[in-house]
Amino acid sequence: MWITEDEAVVMFARYCRARFGKSASRRVREKARTLEQRGDTRGHLIWNKVAEAIDEEAKLRAAAAATSPVSSPRRARDRAA
């Protein structure tokens, strides 16, 4: 099975978000800058795509959190336990 570059970018963005948390985008952009300084334009491009995917996922999560109910039955049950 072959994956596309875009699929790889999304998968690695999710990995970085899980690994580095809120600092993922910053760390990935630092890596992109380092690669650019070394003359690796392709690496710079890919790492920037990963950072953009991280930022996009964060926006989607924030939007979902803003539209979800404040309290759900599961959360209420967990608090009661």
Residue type, 64: A
CA distance linking residue 52 with residue 9, whole number of Å: 9
| pLDDT in the model for residue 35 | 97
Residue type, 77: R
**38, 31 Cβ separation under 8 angstroms:** no
| pLDDT in the model for residue 53 | 97
| pLDDT in the model for residue 75 | 56
Residues 57-81: tens digit of each pLDDT: 999 888 888 887 665 556 555 655 5
